[in-house]
Structures are given as C-alpha cells and as structure tokens.
Chains A and B, each alone.
Chain A
Amino acid sequence: GIQVEQSPPDLILQEGANSTLRCNFSDSVNNLQWFHQNPWGQLINLFYIPSGTKQNGRLSATTVATERYSLLYISSSQTTDSGVYFCAVERGISNFGNEKLTFGTGTRLTIIP
C-alpha cells in the first residue's frame, strides 16, 4: 500500500513563531487532506489539497504532486494551534475516488506561551 511519512514527529515552538510541517508519500494520489487533531481527539479538516497551493488565514498548504510531497505552513502560531497534525492520502488508482485514506503518523506541535 501507499506509504505516508511526516516530519518532524515533534515540534516545540514559542508563541508567534512560524513552522513548516512536511508530508511525503510514496505513490500518486487522488486526494490529500491535512487535519488537526485537538486534545479531545476530534479531527478537524484544514485543507483538501491533492495539488497546488491554498491559504486559510494563518495556515497555508502546498502539494507538489509530481515530487510526492506536501507542506503545511503555520504562521504567527498561537497556543490553540497545539495538537497533532495529520496528512492523509488516497492513492491514485481508484476508479470511483474517495475511498480509504491512509494517514501518516503525525506531527505533534506544542506552542509555548
């Protein structure tokens, strides 16, 4: 199956700092999503981004599908950004689309006040 690797596994930053999280995947993908898992376990959708660049407030993401990686940028980080960030992909061979997502192991981000 498709492999998804995220780096770094842990990141501790001071409030106000910027960060870049990386997701590498081993095959072509139909779907790539970034999620934030809050301390209560809820997975919150950040971006649907199988290719290209998107921005939403302090967050932006870029996926370079031909090179099989995606980056999530968080600027001016706040304590509420703390949590685990997951990248998840659906491999590109399905006929109907949007079948199972394969998740990476996540990046645990801790923002210190």
Chain B
Amino acid sequence: DTGVSQDPRHKITKRGQNVTFRCDPISEHNRLYWYRQTLGQGPEFLTYFQNEAQLEKSRLLSDRFSAERPKGSFSTLEIQRTEQGDSAMYLCASSLTGARETQYFGPGTRLLVL
C-alpha cells in the first residue's frame, strides 16, 4: 500500500529563487491538499484540489505561490521569489471525496530560505 509521497524532502535555497515541490497522492484519492507548518505551530491549510480542479485557496497563498494538479494525479506547488518567511514544512495530504473520509499526509518538504 503506497502512501502519499513528496519530493524533495529537504530544500535549501537563497532568497529570491524559485522552488517547486511535488506531491503524489494515494492512487485512488481524488482530493489533494497542501498545508504549511511553521515551527511550533500546527499545519495551516493552503489549498485543495478535487481531481484537477482547484476548489479553494487560503489567503495565506500569496500571488507568489501557485499550485497545479494538471491530470488529477500528482500536484506541484511553486513558490516564486522566495522570502525568508517562506521557510516552513510544506505538507501534502490526500483523501477520497466525502464527508467522512480521512486525510492522509505525506512526509513533507522542509524548506529553508537563506
């Protein structure tokens, strides 16, 4: 049983650079979520997809952030012109559609912006 996978697991970049993260959900899951977690806090919702449609975006997702799920399978999260405040753990989760379905999380991508 393959769980949610994320790549890379760690990323160090310089301020102003662009970064892209990938998430592969559990294969039969049509919902995919992105969350961000900063030190000492719980994860915060960024955005989610049902198949390829992006259904909701948090106001945390500034215009430097873009997420895609082009074929309804894997998803990418891109951050343009990174800032030091973007340093965080970026978590991806997936689930089946429905009111009583569990969200399963990947191992996360830890981003450090120098």
Contact = CB atoms under 8 A, between A and B. Distances in A.
Q: Do A and B come from one complex?
A: yes
Interface of A: 4, 30-31, 33, 35, 40-43, 45, 48, 50, 86, 88, 94, 96-106
B97 interface: yes
Could you say which of A42, A88, A99, A103 has the most chain B C-beta atoms within 10 Å of its C-beta?
A99
Contacts of B98: 96-98
Contacts of A42: 105, 107-108
A101 B101 contact: no
Interface range, B side: 20 to 34
Interface of B: 31, 33, 35, 37, 40-45, 48, 55-56, 58, 89, 91, 93, 95-105, 107-108, 110
A101 B35 CA distance: 9
Contact of A43 (B40, B95, B100, B105): B105
A100 B50 CA distance: 12
Contacts of A104: 42
Contacts of B104: 45
Given A42-B108, A97-B100, A102 B31 contact: no
A33 B99 contact: no
Contacts of A105: 40-42
Given A41-B89, A41-B110, A102 B103 contact: no
Contacts of A50: 100
A98 B101 contact: yes
12 contacts: A4-B42, A41-B110, A42-B108, A45-B104, A45-B105, A50-B100, A96-B98, A98-B100, A100-B33, A100-B45, A105-B42, A106-B42
